Structure 1
Amino acid sequence: MWRLARSAVASNLRRSRRFSTAIPGPCIVHKRGADILHDPWFNKDTGFPLTERDRLGLRGLLPPRVISFEQQYARFMESFRSLEKNTQGQPDSTVTLSKWRILNRLHDRNETLYYRVLIDNIKDFAPIIYTPTVGLVCQNYSGLFRRPRGMYFCAKDKGEMMSMIYNWPSHQVDMIVLTDGSRILGLGDLGVQGIGIAIGKLDMYVAAAGINPQRILPIMLDVGTNNQKLLDNPLYLGLRQPRLEGEEYLSIVDEFMEAVYTRWPKAIVQFEDFQMKWAFETLQRYRKRFCMFNDDIQGTAGVALAGLLGSVRAQGRPLADFVNQKMVVVGAGSAGLGVFNMAMQAASRMAGTTANPQFFLLDKDGLITKERKNIAPAAAPFAKAPGEIEGLGLREGASLVEVVKKVKPHVLLGLSGVGGIFNQEVLNAMRESDSTKPAIFAMSNPTMNAECTAVDAFTHAGENIVFASGSPFENVDLGNGKFGHVNQANNMYLFPGIGLGTLLSGAHFISDGMLQAAAECLASYMTDEDCQRGILYPSINSIRHITAEVGAAVMRAAVAEELAEGHGDVGPRELMHMSKEETVEYVTRSMWYPVYSPLVHEK
C-alpha cells in the first residue's frame, strides 16, 4: 500500500511538471468589451492578441498594435528607472511615495504584469510595497486613495456582515489579511488607513508564496479611531468615532469571523497590527475554532527565533547551547512577548520543562519582575522573580543600560517601537558581553522606529557583532575591505510559507508545532559558514525558494500532528507518504506564476 501511495504521488508530481511548461489553460470570464479592460484581474492592456479581441468584443477599444508581455514588462521598467533618475536629490519620502504610486497604478490596471514585475525585482520592490514604505503609505492613505481594494467592515455594519461578505466577487478566497488599524507597525492607531498594511502583506503572499491574486482578500475592520489628528482630518475615510472597546468590540470581530468562515470555510485569516490587548485576546479566542494566526505575535517570533538560533551558530556553538544564551528583550507588546514565548518554548524543547534560561524582559518602565504592580496578563509569565535577579544587583524597573551592564547578554533584541533606544551607552555596554560575537537585533518598523541603525551598532558595539533589523539597512563599510553584514529580520521570510503550507495541508487550525517547524526550517536554511560570517538570513532574491521550503516544513508538521486533510486533488493519504523532497516540489508546483492566460467568454 505504501508503494502504491508513493507511486501515485510521484505520478501527480510528474504530471504537474508537464503542465507547468505547457501553454496556460483558458480562463473563463463573464465580461466583454470595456468591462474587461477595467478589470485588473483580466486586463492585458495592449497584450490582447487579435483573435482574443474579436471574441471578447475588444476590436476598436485598443490601439491596433499588439505588444508582447515581454515588451510591456520592459516598457514599465524603463518608466520606473526614468522616475528614479528624475527624482534624484528629492526628499526620501517624496521619492518612495512616487515609486509606490507608479507601482500602484500598474496594480490597479494590470495585476498579471504587476506581479511579474514584483516577483522579478523583489529585492528592489519589496521595500516599496511592503516594509518600510507601507508605513508611510498608511499614514497618507486617505490622501493617496484612488480606487478601492479589498473590503471594509465597520461598526455600523453590525448585523449585516453575513450578507456583506457575499459582495466580494471572487467565489473562492484562500488568504485574508485582517487589520483593525489600531497599531500599524510602530506608528500607532491609523484607523481605516491601516488597510495599506493588509494590501502590502498580500502582495508578498502572491510574490513569495504564489497565492493566486484572485484568491486573496485584504480586509479593514473599522471600529473607530482614537487618533484625534485623523478625526480632525477632512480627508479621513474612516468612521469618525472613538474605538469600540470590551464586549462591544469583540462582538464585531465575532460576527466578522463567522461571516468569513460561513462563505469560505477553508480560508486562512492572518491578523495583522492589532493593539496588544486585542492581539492576544483574539488569538486565544479564535485559534482553535478557525484557521488563523497573528503575524505580529507568531510570525515575528518565528523569524526572531531563526535569527537567535543562527546567532548561536555564529559563535561556533551547537544549537543546544541556545538554552545557555543570555538574552535581553526590549518591548513587551505583542511582538516582543511573542518572541519571548517562542524562545522559551524552544529552550524547553531542548532542555526539558526544568529549563530556566536567562531571558530578561523590559518595557517602557524598565525590567519586568513579579514585584511589578498591574502587570499585563500576557507579560506576567515572563516576569523575573526577585531571587533570580538579586545576585546580579538588579531590581524591578532597572533601566536598559543597567540590565545590559550587569547581565552582559549574548543577545540584545528590540521590539519596542522606540527609535534610537539602543543609544551609544547601551551599545558600548554590549562590548562587555559574555559572547565572543554578541547579537544586536533592532527589529522595530518602520526605519525611523528602529532601536538603532546598523552604522551605530557596528560603531559603538564593535565590529565583531551580529546585526539584524526589521527594516532594510545597507551593509556597513568597516574599512580595510571589511563589511559589517546587515540581516533583515523581517516577517516576510515566514508568513508566506506559514500560509501556503497550511493551505496545502488542509489543516483546520495552525498549531504551535507548525509554527516552530517554520522557524526551524528558516534557521537551518543558512550554512554554518554563513552564520559565522554574520549572515543569518538568506537574500530576499531567494524568497520563493525559501517560502517553498518553509511551506513544506509546515505541511510536514501538520501531517505529523494528524491535522492535514489535504487540498484539492491531493488527499491526506498522499501527503502522508510524500518524502521531504516531494513535499518541497509539491509546494513549488502549487505556486501561481503570472502569465497571460487565454480568455474565453461565457455568459
Structure 2
Amino acid sequence: MWRLTRSAASNLRRSRCFSTAIPGPCIVHKRGADILHDPWFNKDTGFPLTERDRLGLRGLLPPRVISFEQQHARFMESYKSLEKNTQGQPDGIVSLAKWRILNRLHDRNETLYYRVLIDHIEDFAPIIYTPTVGLVCQNYSGLFRRPRGMYFSAKDKGEMMSMIYNWPSTQVDMIVLTDGSRILGLGDLGVQGIGIPIGKLDMYVAAAGINPQRILPVMLDVGTNNQKLLEDPLYLGVRQPRLEGEEYLEIVDEFMEAVHARWPKAVVQFEDFQMKWAFETLQRYRKKCCMFNDDIQGTAGVALAGLLGTVRAQGRPLSDFVNQKIIVVGAGSAGLGVLNMALQAVSRMSGSSANPQFFLLDKDGLITKGRKNIDPAAARLVKTSAEIEGLGLTDGASVLEVVKKVKPHVLLGLSGVGGIFNEEVLKAMQQSDSKKPAIFAMSNPTNNAECTAIDAFKHAGGNIVFASGSPFDHVDLGNGKVGHVNQANNMYLFPGIGLGALLSGARFISDGMLQAASERLASYMTDEEIQKGILFPSIKSIRHITAEVGVAVVQTAISEDLAEGHGEVGAKELTHMSKEEIVEYVTNNMWFPIYSPLVHEK
C-alpha cells in the first residue's frame, strides 16, 4: 500500500490545511451587531479597525484589537484555570464543565473554536467526542441553549422537501444523521442523540478539514421507547413511541430524498441506529447515494486495522491473518460489521472457500447456525453445530467457555456490557495459542468497556496487545516497561472515508474504498512501533492520518471508476492525476481556521 513520503508529509504541513497565510476575503450580507452574533463570522475583539469601520462595528467592541494568537492563549488560560478549580470533583461534573466552556466558544466564535480544537486535539477530543459526548447526550435537554443542526420529526411527514431549504448554508458537503435509537452503549436517547452528529462533525472539521459552513448534523426524531425520557418534563423530543416498519422507513426515505434533491453530492454518514435499522438503511441507500454507516463500516475498518496490526505484532506475515482465531463478543451492528469485513479480508487472501476461525457471541452466548430465529445478517458469519462440537462447545456457550476451548489469538468486545471480560476470562487468555494475544475492549463510553486497561494487563499478562474504544492511560508494568493502550476509535477512519468520498465525488462508497482505508491505517505504524504493541497513531497526528486515508479512498474510487469529481475538478482530471498530485489535491482541500477579511455586500 502506497503511503505519503516524508517530502509529501512535509508538503502537507506546508499546505493550506496548516497554513498561516491570510486567506482571501469573505463576502458577508450582515452588518453591525448581526455580525457579532453570527459565530461563522464573529472575531470577537479580533476585528481590525478598518474592518470595524466598513462593517459598522466601531463602538460595539472594546477599542483594543486582540490578535488571533492572543485570543487563543486567553482561552487556553481560562481552560487551564477551569481544570485547576475543578480538581477533586467527580469526573462527570468536570467533563461537563469542560464541555460547557468549549460549547460557549463554539456558540460565539467558530473559527477560534476549531483552531483551539485542532491545536489541542489530544486534550479536547475526549470532551467533544468519546467519552464525554455520551454524558452530554444523556443530559442534552437540560444542557440545550441554542440550536445546532436540523431536526426532522415524525410530525414533519410530507414537509421535509421544503424544510431542507430552511438550512441557511447553500452548500453542504457532509451530513451526520442519527435517529437516537442506540447512542453508544447507552441505548435509546431519542432527540438527545443529536449530540453524536454534532461531535462527529466537529471531528470531521478538526481531522479532515471539512469546512464548518458546509456540515449539517441531523436528528431524525421518530419518537422514543425510553419511558424515563417520555416522562421527563424537560425532554425536547416527540413524546410518542418509536415508529416501526413502513412508517419508519417512509420518514427516512423522505429525508434522504430531500437531502439528495438539494445537495446531491453530499456525503451522508448514518450513526447510532439500532441494529435492525442500521443494516436495513445501509442496504437501502448505499448504492443510491454517497453514504455509509459508521457503526457497521467505520468500526469494522478500525477493528480490521487493529487485527492486521496484531498479526504484525506477533511477528507473522499479514497473510497469516487467515489463521487467526478471533472471538467477537457482541452481535450488534458493530460486531457483525467487524466479522463481515474480516471475512472479506480472508477471502481476498485465500479465496472464497476460506473457512476462518471466527466465533460470535451475543447475550445468550456462542451463536451457531442451529440457533432458532438467528438474525439473517449473522447467519453466514457463524459456525455450524458440527464445527464447534469438535472443540467441545455448544450453542450458547459462555465467553469463558469459548475462550478456554478456542484459545484465541484475539478477544474482541463490542457488547456494550461493562466488565464482561472479567478476571477469569482475562486469565484464560494467558493460554492463548499466540505468544502475544490481543484484547480489544471497544465498547463506548468508558463505563461500558468490556474491561479496563489495568485489569487486562494485570490478569492477561504484560505481553498482550490492548486496545479500547474509549481512552485509558498507559499501564506501568514495572521494571521500566509500559503496557501501551491503543484507542481503537472510529475517529481514525471515518473522517478520511468522508473526505476521500467527497473529494473523489464517488457515486457511492464501495467495499473496496472501505478496505483501502482500513489497510492504509493498518500500514501506518512502523514495525518498531508495532513490536511495542502500538497499533494506532497518536491522535496528535489525526490530520495527517486522515489525509493519508483520504488519499487511499480517492485512489480506489478512481480505480473502481466511481469517481465523478468535486467542484472544478472533474472525473477526467482525477483520472490523470499522479499519486503526488492526488496528495496535493486532498491536502489543499482541507480547511484550516484562520480569520478571513470580511467584505460587506448588500
TM-score scaled by structure 1?
0.97
Q: In 1, are the aligned partners of 2:412 and 2:440 still within 8 Å (CA)?
A: yes
The residue number in structure 1 matching 2:593 is: 594
Matches within 5 A, 1:9-408: 22-408=21-407
The residue number in structure 1 matching 2:429 is: 430
Which one-letter code corresponds to 1:35 in the other structure? D
Q: In 2, are the aligned partners of 1:372 and 1:396 still within 8 Å (CA)?
A: yes
The residue number in structure 1 matching 2:9 is: none
Q: In 1, are the aligned partners of 2:150 and 2:219 still within 8 Å (CA)?
A: yes
Cα deviation code 1:500-550 (max 9, x no counterpart): 000000111100000000000000001122111100000000000000000
Q: In 1, are the aligned partners of 2:19 and 2:592 still within 8 Å (CA)?
A: no
Change (3 A) 1:574 1:74: same
Which one-letter code corresponds to 1:50 in the other structure? L
Q: Which moved more, 1:22-31 or 1:159-168?
A: 22-31
Q: Hey, what's the Cα distance between the residues in 1 that align with 2:223 and 2:237?
A: 7
The residue number in structure 2 matching 1:3 is: none
Query: Aligned residues, how many?
Result: 591
Q: Hey, what's the Cα distance between the residues in 2 that align with 1:136 and 1:537?
A: 25
Q: In 1, are the aligned partners of 2:22 and 2:594 still within 8 Å (CA)?
A: no
Q: Hey, what's the Cα distance between the residues in 2 that align with 1:449 and 1:509?
A: 33
The residue number in structure 1 matching 2:7 is: none
Q: Which moved more, 1:23-32 or 1:465-474?
A: 23-32
Which one-letter code corresponds to 1:230 in the other structure? L
SS at match of 2:210: coil
The residue number in structure 2 matching 1:455 is: 454
Q: Hey, what's the Cα distance between the residues in 1 that align with 2:432 and 2:17?
A: 55
Q: In 1, are the aligned partners of 2:16 and 2:591 still within 8 Å (CA)?
A: no
Cα deviation code 1:307-354 (max 9, x no counterpart): 000000000000000000000000000000000100000000000011
Q: Hey, what's the Cα distance between the residues in 1 that align with 2:47 and 2:245?
A: 53
Q: Hey, what's the Cα distance between the residues in 2 that align with 1:292 and 1:365?
A: 32
Which one-letter code corresponds to 1:283 in the other structure? L
Q: In 1, are the aligned partners of 2:441 and 2:451 still within 8 Å (CA)?
A: yes
Matched-pair identity in % = 86
Change (3 A) 1:393 1:19: closer
SS at match of 1:379: helix
Q: In 1, are the aligned partners of 2:154 and 2:221 still within 8 Å (CA)?
A: yes
Q: Hey, what's the Cα distance between the residues in 2 that align with 1:37 and 1:229?
A: 39
Deviation at 1:571? 2.0
> Mind listing any 5+ residue stretches in structure 2 that lack a counterpart?
1-11
Deviation at 1:23? 2.2
The residue number in structure 2 matching 1:515 is: 514
TM-score scaled by structure 2?
0.97
Q: Hey, what's the Cα distance between the residues in 2 that align with 1:331 and 1:565?
A: 38
Q: Hey, what's the Cα distance between the residues in 2 that align with 1:537 and 1:543?
A: 10
Q: Hey, what's the Cα distance between the residues in 1 that align with 2:18 and 2:114?
A: 21
Change (3 A) 1:528 1:64: same
Change (3 A) 1:301 1:454: same
Deviation at 1:20? 5.6
Change (3 A) 1:55 1:513: same
Deviation at 1:371? 1.0
Q: Hey, what's the Cα distance between the residues in 1 that align with 2:567 and 2:226?
A: 45
Cα deviation code 1:536-589 (max 9, x no counterpart): 000000000000000000000000000011112222222223233332222111
Q: Hey, what's the Cα distance between the residues in 2 that align with 1:20 and 1:506?
A: 25
Change (3 A) 1:210 1:354: same
Change (3 A) 1:36 1:17: closer
Q: In 2, are the aligned partners of 1:20 and 1:589 still within 8 Å (CA)?
A: no
The residue number in structure 2 matching 1:530 is: 529
The residue number in structure 2 matching 1:7 is: none
Q: In 1, are the aligned partners of 2:20 and 2:594 still within 8 Å (CA)?
A: no
Q: Hey, what's the Cα distance between the residues in 1 that align with 2:575 and 2:314?
A: 37
The residue number in structure 2 matching 1:472 is: 471
Q: In 1, are the aligned partners of 2:161 and 2:255 still within 8 Å (CA)?
A: yes
Deviation at 1:151? 0.3
Q: Hey, what's the Cα distance between the residues in 2 that align with 1:96 and 1:578?
A: 46
The residue number in structure 2 matching 1:492 is: 491
Q: In 1, are the aligned partners of 2:16 and 2:587 still within 8 Å (CA)?
A: no
SS at match of 1:208: helix
Deviation at 1:290? 1.1
Change (3 A) 1:247 1:269: same
Cα deviation code 1:456-514 (max 9, x no counterpart): 00000011100000000000000111110000000000000000000000111100000
Q: In 1, are the aligned partners of 2:468 and 2:489 still within 8 Å (CA)?
A: yes
Q: Hey, what's the Cα distance between the residues in 2 that align with 1:483 and 1:581?
A: 38
Q: In 1, are the aligned partners of 2:25 and 2:599 still within 8 Å (CA)?
A: yes
Q: Hey, what's the Cα distance between the residues in 1 that align with 2:412 and 2:17?
A: 47
Deviation at 1:16? 7.6
Q: Hey, what's the Cα distance between the residues in 2 that align with 1:219 and 1:239?
A: 15
SS at match of 2:565: coil
SS at match of 1:152: strand
Q: In 2, are the aligned partners of 1:173 and 1:215 still within 8 Å (CA)?
A: yes
SS at match of 1:61: coil
The residue number in structure 2 matching 1:6 is: none
Q: In 1, are the aligned partners of 2:369 and 2:385 still within 8 Å (CA)?
A: yes
Change (3 A) 1:22 1:95: closer
The residue number in structure 2 matching 1:556 is: 555
SS at match of 2:377: coil
SS at match of 1:394: coil
Q: Hey, what's the Cα distance between the residues in 2 that align with 1:128 and 1:20?
A: 26
Q: Which moved more, 1:585-594 or 1:137-146?
A: 585-594
Q: Hey, what's the Cα distance between the residues in 1 that align with 2:254 and 2:208?
A: 29
Q: Which moved more, 1:379-388 or 1:439-448?
A: 379-388
Q: Hey, what's the Cα distance between the residues in 2 that align with 1:446 and 1:584?
A: 35
Q: In 2, are the aligned partners of 1:154 and 1:239 still within 8 Å (CA)?
A: yes
Q: Which moved more, 1:573-582 or 1:458-467?
A: 573-582
Cα deviation code 1:429-452 (max 9, x no counterpart): 000000010000000000000000
What RMSD over aligned residues (CA atoms) do the two structures have, in Å? 1.4
Which one-letter code corresponds to 1:572 in the other structure? A
